[in-house]
Amino acid sequence: MPITTCVFDAYGTLFDVAAAAREAAKEPAFAAIADTWPQLAEHWRLKQLQYSWLRAVTGAHDDFWQVTQEGLDWSLEKLGVADDPALRERLLALYWELQAFAEVPAMLRALKDGGLNTAILSNGSPAMLDGAVQSAGISDLLDVSLSVESVGVFKPHASVYDLVGQHYGCAKGEVLFVSSNGW
């Protein structure tokens, strides 16, 4: 079966999850993370994933924005900067509008020019995905952003991946799923 549809995870695959911490660290008001922003970004992403997996296993679903905030709070505490509400607010604002990796627009354009369907399948809430897609300027290169919110459970639950076939009416063998994650 030929591939007809390329589906991408959003966070860490299309969007640079370290960008929020990296950009905040450049601002004089947040010099406290100038040297530790890589660790902050790493802890934040790891906790975000761990919290989503825990919720998927226990059935205690919250939207990804809540999980993102909880992951950040844990990470700020770990690095000893949890007492700076302005830093937290700035990091969350930057996360809402994450930068796409530099190669993303050209890659998506090449897929579209090749006649392939392109989509996001993400743990992100629809509003989060819209914010990231719009700020990255790639909305015209994607057919749709599919969110786990429509099934109420995070990846890697099988019902999430079924959303692609439901949307496109294609067989699993026609879909290429691209993710920076190991599942």
Residues paired with residue 8 on neighbouring β-strands, in sequence order: 120, 178
Buried b / exposed e over 5-34, threshold 16 CB at 10 Å, is bbbbbbbbbbbbbbbbbbbbbeeeebebbe
From 9, 62, 113, 140, active-site residue: 9
3-state secondary structure of 122: strand
Active site residue 113: no
DSSP result, 52-93: HHHHHHHT----HHHHHHHHHHHHHHHTT-TT-HHHHHHHHH
Catalytic residues: 9
